[in-house]
Amino acid sequence: MSKPLKRYEYVGPEDLLELTESEPAGSSISALSDIEQWAEKTDQFASDPVVATYIIDTTGRLRIADRHCEHVACASGRPVLAAGEITFEGFGSNLEVVEITNQSTAYCPEPTCWTVVEKALAAIGIPHPDGFTTEFIFRRCESCGTVNIIKDDWYSCAVCEKELPE
């Protein structure tokens, strides 16, 4: 029996949930051509490389949006299996993922979510790294509630300086 996939609920500020009413959901990607259509429609390939916000929805499908889009809007406020930033380079048969992270303070996905990201990218058939090019670890401060990104094994809240749980 396989272990159920971890779902990440939205943990960000309440006011950002309102974006799900005004911003469109991320574009669903099931083939390389979907990435190119999204990039052309949103004028993303005016620059190369292209950085985008991404989520893996609970069906295992990649969804992408402009990098300035909040993850919660990309996911329409729903739970995700993974979230972060993804960088595409090239075009046509040369299109590839050159960088990918799990950086999302909206969902705080663990580095172990790579397995679902890799599966989604493999299903699309896009070349990609063997893992996150940068991994992030998140902790919520038990004193002030701030979501912190852990850097250099420093488990201290950036706002109130209280110790964070390891």
pLDDT tens track for 23-48: 889 999 999 999 989 988 888 766 67
Q: In this structure, are 67 and 83 located in the same domain?
A: yes
Q: Is residue 49 part of a domain?
A: yes
Structural domain of 158: 137-166
Q: What is the mean pLDDT of residues 119-142?
A: 96
**35, containing H or E segment:** helix 32-41
* Gap between the Cα atoms of 100 and 33, Å rounded: 19
Q: In this structure, are 32 and 84 located in the same domain?
A: yes
pTM given for the model: 0.91
Instruction: Encode pLDDT of 53-111 as tens digits.
Output: 999 999 999 999 999 999 999 999 999 999 999 999 988 788 999 999 999 999 999 99
Q: In this structure, are 55 and 100 located in the same domain?
A: yes
- The model's confidence at residue 162, banded by pLDDT at 50, 70 and 90, is very high
* Gap between the Cα atoms of 102 and 133, Å rounded: 9
Q: In this structure, are 25 and 48 located in the same domain?
A: yes
Backbone phi, psi, residue 141, to 5°: -70, 125
* Gap between the Cα atoms of 76 and 127, Å rounded: 27
Nearest to 113, CA basis, from 147, 81, 86: 81
Q: In this structure, are 131 and 142 located in the same domain?
A: no
**138, containing H or E segment:** strand 137-140
Number of compact structural domains in the chain: 2
